[in-house]
Structure 1
């Protein structure tokens, strides 16, 4: 028995909550699964499972070991897929289809695209808009923003985004700088119809929450239009930090109420099971994860 087989058997028992079901998923006998888990426990010198006649449950050590073992198995599976993806004998032209919001495509993905195209044998790329009507077979990779408080989507985390309040210096010079979340209601607020409701939910650094709206609302079709209006001095906007970080560095915009933010989202890369082994999607996922980890 090897360590990998023992680890795999244990994780399947954990996931199936039993030896019989685990054996069925692995395609081996129940006795073999039991023998592998027992060998793992002997090697580690700890009990990983509590066994009764009705169920199997993890010990404290088992819970910790499962979490780390699962990461190892996932990385091993990922390594296998990458090796297949970079196979020089791959035939045909495969279009890399990436589903992402226009803002994520423009401000996150496109800055890395030239380097990716130089490093990988990819000839065709198509960026698709976020659209619930899209079939899961229409795209090979999706970049999603999942609100942390309700995060449910599966995927590989690549970072976080936080909505921040921004405005141009000319606007603040003419309209004044708000000194509290409540004071925002006296200002022109710039909103995207496809993203923002009538109220901005805001959070202060110390934990206080506010719901802000104004009689002076300017509505736009999307967040890119909101950003353009904000740069032009039309009002105050609540936008993801990745959309405004360059303007903040260049002092085209400035933060308003730096201790107050909007939603925090987990940014994830997702590949549908239907297109799990698409070569170019695998290569792009690995490239983006590496590039963004170096940036952090």
Structure 2
């Protein structure tokens, strides 16, 4: 049983420096005090951990085994102390955030504004992009993403589910009728989304499998909020995220279509670079989003 964590630290210091004298200097203790720490540890362990001669210090086989565990123990203790200290430290400095264009403007910015009001020493810099940026290479602290590739350099935490909803304005459906099947989409005007140089197909789940449907129409737009505006104006059908059209549907400005063919989509996630210690500004911003969305995403 280890009665004194300080004895473990003294042992690790001696093992690293291969010297009681150097270890004592680094720890700010006398050489005899360090020697007593190691001796006490060996008594508690009932085994010799260090070979001592007048010229050298080396670990025994048991000492090497204990050393490997001891450094992990001390690392965990240091991490715990750091984490507790961080919880009492106010966030400050520049917070670089990357968010999708529409989702970020509609649902992340309001959270950020309240976060900045609470923590005035934080300076936020927000980039809007529907591309999956290299947040490590670009120096981004935290990003919100819908799906995206896996990356071992990033920690990913789910914030909310994501739905793609095919919808239309009541006026359009009154004029053109309501599609009941995927194949009936070809009879309707559809507003396409152009992204990354090409048209984005619409996604469905049919007969237990995924089905992508190409969008043919006389209007393609490179901005999802512009597609929503066109859809509200009765231009045609659109397939858009629930985060963008959920309120329009609840208030009757748009009508959801083909809901039985919706497929499971990748969720909305927050991602940040893998680090041993997450800064208070990143941790608290993530906690702010999760707290505000705890009862459900604002578009749900």
* Alignment check: 8 A CA contact 2:159 2:268 kept: yes
The answer as to 2:131 corresponding to 1:125 is: no
Give the gaps of 5 or more residues in structure 1: 6-27, 36-72
- Residue of structure 2 in register with 1:282 after alignment: 283
**Aligned-partner Cα distance in 2 for 1:252–1:275:** 48
- Residue of structure 1 in register with 2:86 after alignment: 84
- Residue of structure 1 in register with 2:246 after alignment: 245
Cα shift at 1:238: 0.9
Any idea what SS the aligned residue of 1:95 has? strand
- The size of the alignment, in residue pairs, is 229
**Aligned-partner Cα distance in 2 for 1:218–1:112:** 34
Any idea what SS the aligned residue of 2:140 has? coil
- Residue of structure 2 in register with 1:224 after alignment: 225
Cα shift at 1:249: 1.5
**Aligned-partner Cα distance in 1 for 2:81–2:193:** 41
Residues 241-296 of structure 1 deviation map (CA, whole Å, 9 limit, x = unaligned) = 11111111121111011212256012211112479644322210111122222336
Any idea what SS the aligned residue of 2:287 has? helix
- Residue of structure 1 in register with 2:15 after alignment: none
* Alignment check: 8 A CA contact 2:162 2:242 kept: yes
**Aligned-partner Cα distance in 2 for 1:257–1:107:** 25
- Residue of structure 2 in register with 1:174 after alignment: 175
Give the gaps of 5 or more residues in structure 2: 6-62, 71-75
Query: Alpha carbon RMSD of aligned pairs, Å?
Result: 3.6
Any idea what SS the aligned residue of 1:282 has? helix
> Scaled by the length of structure 2, what TM-score is found?
0.64
Q: How does 1:1-296 map to 2 (within 5 A)?
A: 29-31=64-66, 81=83, 83-84=85-86, 86-88=88-90, 94-130=93-129, 132=133, 136-146=137-147, 154-194=155-195, 197=199, 199-204=201-206, 207-262=208-263, 264-273=265-274, 277-295=278-296
* Alignment check: 8 A CA contact 1:186 1:216 kept: no
**Aligned-partner Cα distance in 1 for 2:81–2:195:** 38
**Aligned-partner Cα distance in 1 for 2:138–2:81:** 23
Cα shift at 1:114: 3.5
User: Residues 294 and 136 from structure 1, CA distance in 2 versus in 1: closer, same or farther, beyond 3 angstroms?
Assistant: farther
